[in-house]
């Protein structure tokens, strides 16, 4: 066997998997783009030496304790501090100035993963003197990632990249202001998290839960089919106050989304939009 | 032509592939029934984008696809830096930020495997010079699925690791020197 071998996954086995996740646990994976979902499932099968999807399905049926870990394994948590720095520059120069005179600034990070994106926002707000007015909510389907986010502790090997990204957005700043090394880890100051709330929330099956001036949902939609993207973006736009700002991932597109009509571009190439008044 | 009707031609490579691929694109006759999927490893955060580096290619539309771009003939889709490119059954392209495979994102294996999984009606692939074994297994799967496969002759490749890794797994339909990539493409398309 080659190390890169991934088991083939038949559509019928996938069907059973969808049913189990939905009826036993309330997770709806039917709208996830199949190519990557099959890949992830294959990786999980391999990791546990499971012969096929039937075995995994069995395990999910009989071991409810396994579900939380499974959600962590099946989702993709890749993220980084100030990922796509040019998008953050657009936020800094074109979006945040719209809210300078507002008494409050409510921000939702949908699909916040292990928290680097929220920390980036916290740093951005601090640098701009807006932090005290802000209330940030970080949500994700994956509880384990959120637990990590709350610790704000990352491998030290990420340091150079994070510093470089931060300096691209704020040339005069430095990571030392916000994080320190501790026992071989990069630990961000808890101060940065004082206005952040972490909540488990499923964008697919749960409704809108508040109104926000800014909503970020980056690199989450890529895992959905066009139909599900349409539904989820509708929820994101419903969560915006009129004039509120939406940012999606740099390679994501609103092409399939009817809610695009309710938005105007602030910066199309950085995927920065504003809800019509 | 659009969606699953389109012939997908995957070109994968790494170190030593970029310049030959640029020359190839400039020589490749336009075909509206075919889309080229370029999956080349490259640096993270490169100074200039791959699209700029490829220069203006006559007739073909060259772009880095956004997520869920519908496949169209006459297009060259370049896998964007730091994303995996995948083909979906429904006829569009997906991007993903899953872990790198063979230290590579985009990974040629991931792309090739997705074409096989999607049971795309007509496709072929060429694997070029490169310094790691990404693509070898995907080419093997392609071959097993009955698609046309072409591997650059290791003696002709600037770095032979990638084609050699593929040749260790299976015998492709053709081995070719890079100067013949246009002919090989047209041969694949005509089958
Ligand atoms: C690739 S990460 C993106 C992290 C961050 N937004 C960024 O761009 O750097 C995708 C995140 O989406 C989350 N996710 C996937 N499906 C979800 C759903 N149905 N509801 C909420 N979050 C979801 C995953 O758990 C994962 O943490």
**What is d(CA B157, CA B20) in angstroms, rounded to the nearest whole number?**
10
Check A251 against B69: CB less than 8 A apart. no
**What is d(CA A234, CA A161) in angstroms, rounded to the nearest whole number?**
34
Check A222 against B118: CB less than 8 A apart. no
**What is d(CA A114, CA A75) in angstroms, rounded to the nearest whole number?**
12
**Ligand 1 pocket, residue A75 CB under 6 Å:** yes
Check B88 against A2: CB less than 8 A apart. no
Residue A208's CB is within 10 A of a number of other CB atoms, namely 14
**What is d(CA B160, CA A49) in angstroms, rounded to the nearest whole number?**
33
User: Facing residues of A272 across strands?
Assistant: A247, A267
| Secondary structure of B112-131 in HEC code, one letter for each residue | HHHHHHCCCCCEEEEECCCC
* Rg of chain A, C-alpha, whole Å: 20
| CATH for B59 | 3.40.50.180
What phi and psi, each to the nearest 5 degrees, are found at residue A209?
A: -125, 10
Closest chain A residue to the Cα of B94, Cα to Cα: A222
Q: What is the pLDDT of residues A160-218, one digit of tens each?
A: 999 999 999 999 999 999 999 999 999 999 999 999 999 999 999 999 999 999 999 99
Distance spanning both ends of chain B, measured CA to CA = 18
ipTM value of the model?
0.94
Closest chain A residue to the Cα of B100, Cα to Cα: A78
What is the count of structural domains for chain B? Answer: 1
Which residues does A contribute to its contact with B (CB < 8 Å)?
Answer: 2, 4-6, 8-9, 33-36, 38-40, 76, 78, 219, 221-223, 225-226, 229, 249, 251-253, 255-256
Q: Rounded to two decimals, what is the model's pTM?
A: 0.96
Residue B41's pLDDT is: 93
Q: Show the domains of chain A with their CATH numbers.
A: 11-74 (no CATH), 85-275 (3.40.50.150)
Q: Which residues of B are catalytic?
A: 14, 41, 134
Give the largest Cα separation in chain A, rounded: 62
**What is d(CA A52, CA A36) in angstroms, rounded to the nearest whole number?**
17
Q: What domain range is B141 assigned to? A: 3-190
In the three-class reduction of DSSP (H, G, I as helix; E, B as strand; rest coil), residue B149 is classed as strand
Q: Are A129 and A105 in contact (CB under 8 A)?
A: no
Q: Strand (E) positions, chain A?
A: 105-110, 134-140, 153-155, 179-182, 185-188, 196-200, 212-217, 240-248, 263-267, 272-275
Q: Strand (E) positions, chain B?
A: 7-13, 34-40, 61-63, 69-70, 75-78, 84-87, 92-96, 123-127, 148-152, 174-176
Ligand 1: residue whose CA is nearest its atom 12 = A111
Chain A nearest CA to B67, separation (Å): 5
State chain B's mean pLDDT as an integer.
95
Mean pLDDT of successive 10-residue stretches along chain A, which has 277 residues: 69 92 96 94 92 93 93 96 98 97 96 98 97 98 98 97 98 97 96 97 96 98 98 98 98 96 98 96
**Ligand 1 pocket, residue A113 CB under 6 Å:** yes
- Chain A residues in contact with B66 by the CB 8 A cut-off are 251-253, 255
For chain B, helix, strand, coil in percent to 5 are 30, 25, 45
Residue A27's CB is within 10 A of a number of other CB atoms, namely 18
């Amino acid at each position: 066997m080659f190390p890169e071998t991934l088991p083939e996954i038949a559509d019928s086995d996938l069907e059973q998997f969808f049913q189990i996740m939905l009826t036993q646990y309330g997770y709806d994976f039917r709208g996830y783009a199949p190519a990557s979902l099959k890949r992830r499932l294959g990786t999980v099968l391999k990791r546990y030496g499971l012969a096929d999807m039937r075995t995994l399905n069995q395990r999910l049926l009989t071991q409810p304790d396994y579900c939380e870990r499974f959600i962590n394994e099946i989702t993709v948590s890749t993220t980084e501090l100030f990922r796509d720095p040019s998008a953050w520059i657009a936020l800094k120069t074109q979006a945040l100035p719209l809210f300078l005179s507002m008494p409050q600034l409510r921000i939702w990070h949908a699909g916040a993963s292990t928290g680097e994106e929220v920390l980036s926002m916290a740093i951005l707000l601090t640098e701009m003197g807006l932090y005290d007015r802000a209330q940030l909510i970080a949500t994700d389907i994956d509880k384990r990632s959120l637990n990590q986010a709350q610790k704000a502790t990352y491998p030290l090997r990420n340091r150079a990249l994070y510093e470089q990204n931060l300096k691209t957005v704020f040339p005069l700043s430095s990571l030392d202001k916000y994080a320190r090394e501790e026992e071989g880890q990069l630990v961000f100051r808890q101060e940065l998290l004082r206005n952040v709330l972490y909540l488990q929330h499923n964008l697919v099956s749960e409704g809108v839960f508040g109104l926000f001036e800014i909503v970020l949902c980056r690199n989450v939609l890529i895992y959905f089919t066009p139909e599900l993207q349409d539904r989820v973006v509708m929820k994101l736009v419903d969560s915006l106050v009129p004039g509120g700002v939406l940012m999606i991932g740099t390679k994501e597109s609103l092409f399939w989304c009817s809610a695009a009509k309710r938005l105007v571009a602030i910066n199309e190439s950085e995927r920065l939009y504003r809800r019509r008044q | 032509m659009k969606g699953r009707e389109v012939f997908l031609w995957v070109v994968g490579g790494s170190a030593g592939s970029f310049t030959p691929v640029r020359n190839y694109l400039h020589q490749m006759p336009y075909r509206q029934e075919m889309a080229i999927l370029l999956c080349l490893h490259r640096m993270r955060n490169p100074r200039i984008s791959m699209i700029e580096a490829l220069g203006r290619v006559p007739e073909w539309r060259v772009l880095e696809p956004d997520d869920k771009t519908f496949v169209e003939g006459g297009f060259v889709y370049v896998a964007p830096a730091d994303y995996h490119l995948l083909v979906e059954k429904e006829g569009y392209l997906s991007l993903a930020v899953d872990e790198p495979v063979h230290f590579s994102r985009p990974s040629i294996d991931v792309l090739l495997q997705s074409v096989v999984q999607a049971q795309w009606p007509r496709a072929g692939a060429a694997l070029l010079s490169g310094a790691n074994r990404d693509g070898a297994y995907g080419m093997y799967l392609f071959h097993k699925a009955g698609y046309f496969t072409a591997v650059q002759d290791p003696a002709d490749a600037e770095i032979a690791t990638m084609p050699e890794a593929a040749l260790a797994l299976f015998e492709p339909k053709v081995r070719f020197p890079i100067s013949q990539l246009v002919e090989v493409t047209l041969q694949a398309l005509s089958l």
